[in-house]
């Protein structure tokens, strides 16, 4: 049986229903998180839950449960569904009310949905690397909120995927921001560069784990913007997200990056990342 969480209840997937006037459905007026599960244990769950509440605050959205209560509900769901390697998807919308742009009355409760999914670690792609396409970043100016409104991200990913690429790497003019659903990094002369935490990127939890691993292991890490030219001329490029972990990018827009295979710094980070997973999910 596949159980899902809908507004406080654990019910069968096939019985789950959302109202057509839900603001998430009508406006994308909500937020979400994707949390990793490895061998039945969550990874960086606290960080994801904290970001969910931060996104909520930035959107003036209220989550009907406290963080601890919500977390334990999600852990229950993971256990019920017997998830080994997988994810839990969580979304909160501004609830159900007649369609109008301004917010509904305060007593309209948010809608909360969560479900689990099996998701194996993408070992083949992590070992061999993936290709990417450059796409202009046309998103709005609050990319720091993990909002359901993903149209700009979807259009970019579709442009990449329909051309056979794993990810779209976004740039605002000459400056590389991030991937359509990942953060982007380059390695040049042994130093890792990634876009600083501003309103123009989503501050990924995976990105933060990488930053901490670099700090602990003497790998130079700089939050500094880089250009499209610097991206294409980098020694190594990788992207990072909850489901992609540390994913080498070996070719962008047909241009081979470095030696055209996962580089030494990327591979070192991959192994440090696996080690961290082992420690945290023990």
Dihedrals phi, psi of 271, to nearest 5 degrees: -75, -35
For ligand PLP, the closer of residues 182 and 266 by Cβ is: 182
Strands (E), the chain: 3-6, 9-12, 30-38, 41-43, 86-93, 111-118, 130-136, 167-172, 175-179, 183-188, 191-194, 220-223, 236-241, 245-252, 255-256
Min. distance of Cβ 18 from ligand PLP in angstroms? 21
Binding-site ranges for ligand PLP (CB under 6 A): 34, 146, 153, 178, 181-183, 202, 204-207, 240-242
Min. distance of Cβ 17 from ligand PLP in angstroms? 26
The closest residue (CB) to ligand PLP is 204
Min. distance of Cβ 239 from ligand PLP in angstroms? 9
Min. distance of Cβ 83 from ligand PLP in angstroms? 17
Residues in the chain: 282
Q: Which burial class, exposed, middle or buried, applies to 149 when counting CB atoms under 10 A from its CB (0-12, 13-18, 19+)? A: middle
The Cα-based distances of 130 to 187, 234, 258 in angstroms read 16, 15, 13
For ligand PLP, the closer of residues 80 and 121 by Cβ is: 121
For ligand PLP, the closer of residues 96 and 252 by Cβ is: 252
Catalytically active residues, by annotation? 146
For ligand PLP, the closer of residues 3 and 206 by Cβ is: 206
């Amino acid at each position: 049986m596949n159980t899902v969480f809908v507004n406080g209840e654990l019910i069968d997937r096939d019985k789950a229903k959302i109202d057509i006037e839900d603001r998430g459905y009508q406006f994308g007026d909500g937020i979400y998180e994707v949390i990793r599960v490895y061998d039945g244990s969550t990874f960086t769950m606290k960080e994801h839950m904290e970001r969910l509440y931060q996104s909520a605050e930035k959107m003036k959205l209220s989550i009907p449960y406290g963080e601890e209560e919500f977390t334990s509900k999600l852990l229950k769901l993971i256990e019920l569904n017997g998830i080994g390697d997988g994810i839990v998807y969580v979304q909160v919308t501004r609830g159900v009310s007649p369609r109008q742009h301004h917010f509904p009355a305060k007593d309209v409760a948010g809608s909360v949905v969560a479900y689990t999914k099996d998701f194996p670690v993408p070992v083949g792609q992590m070992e061999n690397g993936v290709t990417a396409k450059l796409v202009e970043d046309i998103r709005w100016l609050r990319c720091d909120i993990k909002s359901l409104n993903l149209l700009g991200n979807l259009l970019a990913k579709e442009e990449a995927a329909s051309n056979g690429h794993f990810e779209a790497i976004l740039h605002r003019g000459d400056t590389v921001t991030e991937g359509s659903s990942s953060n982007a990094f380059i390695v040049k002369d042994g130093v890792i560069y990634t876009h600083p935490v501003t309103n123009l990127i989503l501050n990924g939890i995976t990105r933060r784990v990488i930053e901490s691993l670099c700090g602990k292991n003497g790998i130079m890490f700089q939050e500094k913007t880089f250009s499209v030219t610097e991206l294409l001329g980098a020694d190594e490029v990788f992207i990072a997200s909850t489901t992609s972990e540390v994913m080498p990018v070996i070719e962008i827009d047909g241009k081979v990056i470095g030696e055209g295979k996962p580089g030494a710094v990327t591979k070192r980070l991959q192994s440090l990342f696996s080690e961290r997973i082992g420690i945290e999910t023990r």
